[in-house]
Amino acid sequence: MALKVLLDTNFLLIPAQFKVDVFEEIRELVHGEYELVVPKMVLFELMRLAAGRGKHSGAARLALRMVEEKKVRVEEAGGKADDWLLEQGRGGAVVCTNDAGLIKLLRENNVKCIRLRGKSQLGFA
């Protein structure tokens, strides 16, 4: 069975903001078979950001295009994204995020987490 690698909103903004190929970096970090997954509420948040004119709108449009091109599976999920990511992580999934509060929560629950390090590469938190 493939390992679930979950992507959250701010993680998907990294390629536009820091010019880091998160998909290639994940491939190098995760050994074995894995499946990239994004919860539906993250997709909705990206759509909301992409529709606006704020500083993250272009990054969100790129993120949506990458989700489609990389064939990231969208999974139905209810409630808050952070709660769902934590729950899935407790079940053995790896969570990809750059949210400091979520990273702290994941560490406290012994959940594997991938984050941006030094604004140039990914690593396990």
Domains and CATH numbers, the chain: 3-124 (3.40.50.1010)
Residue 123's nearest CA partner among 94, 90, 102, 88 is 94
SS3 content of the chain, % helix, strand, coil (to 5): 50, 20, 30
Q: How confident is the model at residue 121 (pLDDT cuts 50, 70, 90)?
A: very high
- Inter-residue contact 34 to 4 (CB < 8 Å): yes
Query: What length does the chain have?
Result: 125
Structure tokens at 26: 């994940």
CA end-to-end distance (rounded Å), the chain: 24
pLDDT reported for residue 103: 97
- pTM summary value: 0.94
Say what the pLDDT of residue 55 is. Answer: 86
- The arithmetic mean of pLDDT across residues 26-44, rounded, is 95
Query: Has residue 13 got a pLDDT over 90?
Result: yes
In the predicted structure, residue 77 carries a pLDDT above the cut 90? no
